[in-house]
Chains A and B, each alone.
Chain A
């Protein structure tokens, strides 16, 4: 029988295919809870979960909080404006102070890549990554896997295009880790200024120079958000030009397989990376991704509570 032995979930890079399959199976069976009248099970009763968010987030924080509450855990939210970080406290000090209050899981989002590995060394509770810098966003990666598998019944052999600012995207890194381990063929496209050097080392991916090449006959097209807050001003001339070369619209979507899935981690810049026609169209699975997010995060919280390994 498959067992999940990890105490922390920081990156899909650290998980095996079997680990991910177990998380997806659990998430699939937990969806039933979210559709019934009494949306709660007593599984994590008496557990305390701290949502420590150093970066703005609506979707991910709300999703983690709902997931925790549906499992009967108690949740506390700490956001940048209310935290002592604004008074100059270090992450390590914050961690030790929080630990003194005996939480069972800390769910953290942080602007620095790898901050969670630092946190995990300081604390004895579980650490779950809700996004760290340009490193990984494992819950988003897993919910993308689940959403794709729902549609096709499998992940292996699918052509998945990921288009946009790969350099700054933690979603892309988690998607690449997850999809390649599950046997999908990943094609990346984006302006050369937004393609990290040595990107092939992330997994067996194909780097394309044009968007057309990436989405041609794709089963799934994942569009990334242009992260203007991280980029500075030099990576692209302007949004209109970006949209012309790397935006998804009803015309170039026809290059993909008929009925191909369109996904986006949100929040969407309408008219930049995706036209509103595509966002609202029948091929868009954006809201399905959000729905699956709750079940996936429930599965993550459930399994780390029983794990032992670092």
Chain B
């Protein structure tokens, strides 16, 4: 591995963090009643699937999972020279009165989460929205914080944190690029 890359979490580290977050989600919501997971494309959507599996193992009950694409809700569309490709939003159930756990891989400025919350509201009125992230790297530009965090990582704003996924969308490792 190149000198400018540091591994923050390996595969088993990610697994342990997701297992702990699963327990915390169950503890906070007193089980899976009315709880749904919505992952933000693309990394968050993969992690939401992982969390759903781990919650199902712990609780023995399936939990609805959806995916949301926030491209059309971004606030930085003008900063790109051409329009970004639009991904698919797949929420096969109503959000009305649900406890939505929004899942993302890396929490940074908070702008993605703002966009995702706006997008969610256009799909109905959930009872509440909670936020689960694998990595919180700081540098918030909006008043947003996560309810469930895998690992807090102090970074400089010039660094880059990336969750690497396998071809089967399994999380492999979290790397910090200097």
What are the nearest 6 A-B pairs in CB distance?
A: A306-B83, A41-B72, A3-B82, A38-B122, A43-B72, A29-B88
Interface string of A160-197 (1 = CB under 8 A from B): 00000000000000000000000000000000000000
Minimal Cβ-Cβ distance residue in B for A309:
B82
Chain B interface category by residue count = 10 to 19
Chain A interface category by residue count = 20 to 34
Report the minimum CB–CB distance from A71 to chain B (whole Å). Answer: 8
Indicate if the CB atoms of A29 and B122 lie closer than 8 Å. Answer: no
Indicate if the CB atoms of B82 and A41 lie closer than 8 Å. Answer: no
Interface string of A276-307 (1 = CB under 8 A from B): 00000000000000000000000100110111
Q: How far is the CA of A299 from the CA of B86 in the complex (A)?
A: 9
Instruction: Determine chain B's interface SS by DSSP, over half rule.
Output: loop
Identify which of residues 51-108 in chain B touch chain A, using a CB-to-CB cut-off of 8 Å.
69, 72-73, 77, 80-83, 85-90
Indicate if the CB atoms of B77 and A43 lie closer than 8 Å. Answer: yes
Indicate if the CB atoms of B85 and A2 lie closer than 8 Å. Answer: yes
Q: Is A1 an interface residue (CB 8 A)?
A: yes
Report the minimum CB–CB distance from A110 to chain B (whole Å). Answer: 26
Q: Given the known A-B contacts A22-B85, A29-B89, A43-B72, are A306 and B77 also in contact in the complex, defined by CB atoms under 8 Å?
A: yes
Q: Is B123 an interface residue (CB 8 A)?
A: yes
Partner among A25, A42, A71, A307 whose Cβ is within 8 Å of the Cβ of B82? A307
For A307, the chain B residues whose CB sits under 8 A away are 82-83
Indicate if the CB atoms of A1 and B85 lie closer than 8 Å. Answer: yes
Report the minimum CB–CB distance from B41 to chain A (whole Å). Answer: 10
Q: How far is the CA of A41 from the CA of B119 in the complex (A)?
A: 8
Report the minimum CB–CB distance from B90 to chain A (whole Å). Answer: 8
Indicate if the CB atoms of A41 and B85 lie closer than 8 Å. Answer: no
For B72, the chain A residues whose CB sits under 8 A away are 30, 33, 41-43, 71, 302
For B90, the chain A residues whose CB sits under 8 A away are 32
Report the minimum CB–CB distance from A46 to chain B (whole Å). Answer: 10
Q: How far is the CA of A3 from the CA of B85 in the complex (A)?
A: 8
Indicate if the CB atoms of A36 and B123 lie closer than 8 Å. Answer: yes
Partner among B73, B89, B123 whose Cβ is within 8 Å of the Cβ of A43? B73
Partner among B73, B80, B85 whose Cβ is within 8 Å of the Cβ of A42? B73
Known: A22-B85, A26-B85, A29-B89; 12 extra A-B contacts, CB below 8 A, are: A25-B85, A37-B123, A38-B123, A41-B72, A41-B73, A41-B119, A41-B122, A42-B72, A43-B77, A303-B82, A305-B83, A306-B82
Minimal Cβ-Cβ distance residue in B for A31:
B88
For A29, the chain B residues whose CB sits under 8 A away are 69, 86-89
For A2, the chain B residues whose CB sits under 8 A away are 85
Indicate if the CB atoms of B86 and A302 lie closer than 8 Å. Answer: yes
Q: Given the known A-B contacts A37-B124, A40-B122, are A5 and B86 also in contact in the complex, defined by CB atoms under 8 Å?
A: no
Indicate if the CB atoms of B89 and A42 lie closer than 8 Å. Answer: no
Indicate if the CB atoms of B81 and A308 lie closer than 8 Å. Answer: yes
Q: List 25 A-B contacts (CB under 8 A).
A: A3-B81, A25-B86, A26-B86, A29-B69, A30-B86, A32-B88, A32-B90, A33-B72, A36-B122, A36-B123, A37-B124, A41-B72, A42-B72, A43-B72, A43-B73, A302-B72, A303-B82, A305-B83, A306-B80, A306-B81, A306-B83, A307-B82, A307-B83, A308-B81, A308-B82
Q: Is A242 an interface residue (CB 8 A)?
A: no
Q: How far is the CA of A22 from the CA of B119 in the complex (A)?
A: 22
Indicate if the CB atoms of B83 and A303 lie closer than 8 Å. Answer: yes
